A and B are shown apart, each in its own frame.
Chain A
Amino acid sequence: MPTLADILARLAAVPTTAALLGLAATASLLIIAADWRGSVLALAAQYLLAGLLLTRVIRPEIAMIKTLIGAMICLVLYVTARRVGWEYLSRAADERPSRFLLALTSGTPFRIMAALMALSLAYTAALRAPLSNVPIEVTFGVFTLGMMGVFNIALADEPLKGGMGLLTVITGFELYYSSIEQSLTVVGLLGVVNFMIALAMSYLTTAQATPLPAEESSSGPDSYQGAGIVPPGQGAL
């Protein structure tokens, strides 16, 4: 059975360019994806790839801890999204559009354009203002995640999607900050901040999916679907 050191050594062998392309792809997917499963999966992959890039600037053990925190965050978001049936959050059951219509109405072409624009902005910024104390590939990673995250927040209309953008920004910042500050206390507190953001997002998402008092009084058991809540005892999958 491979040891932790073996796993880290194998992961460190992944080419930096591949990790960077992967980060750009996952961050783009977070902007574009309308389905919660795709978004949570993209976020998990993003944490893994960011961890790989981090091994270039900090001790692999600390990079591993950050990746594990990311995995825990994804777990929290997965449970939350599954619970509230996020993709249909604001639509009543009879108003649910077809897949084709959903792709159009959620502005997928616009989101693709926005992701491409963020990517080009990040690329230009990384070339024109490279960060000191970090390798150029990490600079690309930082700007890509930062820009994509900000675009994601700006385009989001509810806490779960926007929160993923916020977590993307913080991940990008951590890529840079980990190379200049390696205190374990700071690493620990940043981990707490990340996890707290995930919990707050989870709380806000649940609160948003809960019907308003006026709606509650006028609706029966069917209102679970309309509010995007999975009825007790029924999974979303």
Chain B
Amino acid sequence: MIAGVFVLIGVPLVAAVVTFVFRRLQTLVALIAAAVAAVLGAGALWLPLGQVVQVGGRQVALGEPMQVLGRQLVLTGGDRQALGWMFVVSAALFLIGGRARPGTAFFSLGLAILGLVSAALVVQPFLYSALLLTIAAILAAILVQEGTPGRTRGAFRYLVLMTLALPTFLVAGSLVDLYAINPTDIGLARSVVLALTGGFALLLGVVPFHIWIGPMAEESPPIASVFVLAVVNSAVWFMLFDILQAYPWLAAQPDIFRAMQLVGLLTAAVGGVLAFSSYDFAHVLGYGALADYGCALVALSTRTSAGLGVVMLATLMRPVGLAILALGMALARERAHSSEFEKLSGLAWSSPWTAAALIVGGFSVAGLPPLAGFVGRWAEVRLMATAQPAADLPIYALAILAVTVGVAAGALRGMDFLLAAPAHQAATPAPLASLRLAAREPRLMIALIMAVLAVGFVLGLFPGIVDTALRAILSSYTFFSSP
């Protein structure tokens, strides 16, 4: 009998090696990576957790624990949903990557990261999760650098900040063990809270540790940025939930959530302002995601199950908007060699689908209706407006609305350039660029843009589709409802 965790960790790692060997055959490798991720995602989401099932003539028990070097690997209900969702999102990104060309090693590195993230979420205790997640983040630093020679600011900053988070988790891990022996030691509890707060602040990229987001979005292939901002970042969120679930006394510490509220608000505000002052769609993508992280932190700081649900909803919806925008950016960079507003002036007239992806993606990241991003943002605003007992929460609702306007204004400024008169384009002294723009947009890219746009609109108009998955994840995390 094969333990489910072994499959979820081992198969992506083996597939990573295979795809690395054949990395030059990008289309084939993209299909293999997407198929592996999709099958594992479907298996994680739909196979029964407590039963043995026959898969390809072999018995697989998804919930069967496994021992590796004396450490236990257990797949819980929440982790299973989280991993399933991450695999499905990655499958979509791999499929898009087959055409968007995010670099030859994107697929193998992506699969290796998925294997490591799976191991990080199922291993106990959490200090091993931190170690594995750091290794995954180091690989992600290489992944975002793929295909972009000359500029390494974003990847290097990401590498530094993710690695600096590791010591805080390792110290917290040993302090937690000490606290289990001395549960009355308040100083010890405070030290754990301080270490974990610092560690998660670094990993989540909240202000002032957000300095990698802008340069990374600017320098790296857009699909690789989305992989880091949506998939790797989600693993950090789920690691946070796992720790709160494993140590319920942490969820009862008001200091953590007070800090979370303050930092969340600051992050959302900075993200909104930076997105507003964007001159490049890469900044709308990066700072829009930053603003979204901030809003999610503010929602979690309410210390309610509803707040947790809102964070989950935002996490589920985030990749859709980011993927739409990334597709537009990939095509814009392919055709106009840039994603800067000014250099895309009048692009909508020659490349309507590229412009549509850039505009709709930007609005979805901002959280405007009727797009996928709106679902999470509206839930955050409603939560803040209605949550009890804090009286100042409605002010936070207004702040989140202001952040939404900030990101949307950034996207609108981009739209203004995209829709500029075509005469503007004629003055561009770049004959090669003009020739390229005169050519039709690739059909496969148009099909991919149409598919992702459809997903964005359907999820925005019918958010109930994710209701079952959301409830399943929420039922696994009881740290806010436990006494």
Contacts and interface: CB of A to CB of B under 8 A. Distances in A.
A193 B142 CA distance: 14
Interface string B138-171: 1101100100111110011001100110110011
Contacts of A207: 145, 148-150, 152, 155
B152 A193 contact: no
A158 to B, nearest CB: 7
A7 interface: no
Nearest to A210: B149
Contact of B152 (A153, A158, A192, A196): A158
A24 interface: no
Listed residue (B71, B138, B145) with the most chain A CB atoms within 10 angstroms of its CB: B138
A23 B298 CA distance: 43
B437 interface: no
B108 interface: no
B212 interface: no
Contact of A185 (B69, B145, B171, B173): B69
Contacts of A14: none
Contact of A200 (B128, B131, B138, B164): B138
Contacts of B156: 158-159, 162-163, 204
A196 B141 CA distance: 11
Q: Is the interface of B mostly helix, strand, loop or mixed?
A: helix
Contact of B135 (A162, A166, A173, A196): A196
A193 B131 CA distance: 7
Interface residues of A, number: 33
A181 B159 contact: no
A210 B134 CA distance: 27
Contacts of A212: 149-151
B151 A208 contact: yes
Contacts of B171: 177
A200 B148 contact: no
B70 interface: yes
A197 B174 contact: no
Across chains A and B, which 8 residue pairs bring their CB atoms closest together, nearest first?
A210-B149, A212-B150, A189-B131, A173-B167, A196-B138, A204-B152, A208-B152, A159-B156
B95 interface: no
A130 interface: no
Contacts of A190: 131
A215 interface: yes
A166 B71 contact: no
B174 A200 contact: no
A210 B139 contact: no
Interface string A172-186: 010001001100011
B330 to A, nearest CB: 16
Contacts of B250: none
Contacts of A170: 163, 166-167
21 contacts: A158-B156, A159-B155, A159-B156, A163-B159, A166-B164, A169-B164, A177-B170, A181-B127, A181-B173, A189-B128, A190-B131, A199-B142, A200-B138, A200-B139, A200-B159, A203-B145, A204-B159, A205-B152, A207-B149, A210-B149, A211-B150
Nearest to B164: A169
A200 B109 CA distance: 12
Given A162-B160, A193-B135, A197-B159, A211 B149 contact: yes
A158 B153 CA distance: 8
Contacts of A211: 149-150
Interface in A189-234: 189-190, 192-193, 196-197, 199-201, 203-205, 207-208, 210-213, 215
Interface of A: 153, 158-159, 162-163, 166, 169-170, 173, 177, 180-181, 185-186, 189-190, 192-193, 196-197, 199-201, 203-205, 207-208, 210-213, 215
B131 A203 contact: no
A203 to B, nearest CB: 5
Contacts of A163: 156, 159
Interface in B156-208: 156, 159-160, 163-164, 166-167, 170-171, 173-174
A151 to B, nearest CB: 13
Contacts of B69: 185
Contacts of A213: 149
A78 to B, nearest CB: 20
A181 B170 contact: yes
A169 B167 CA distance: 10
Listed residue (B127, B145, B150, B164) with the most chain A CB atoms within 10 angstroms of its CB: B150
B138 A185 contact: no
A2 B141 CA distance: 43
B216 to A, nearest CB: 12
Given A159-B156, A185-B69, A193 B148 contact: no
Contacts of A166: 159-160, 163-164
A102 B278 CA distance: 36
B221 to A, nearest CB: 13
B359 to A, nearest CB: 27
A193 B149 contact: no
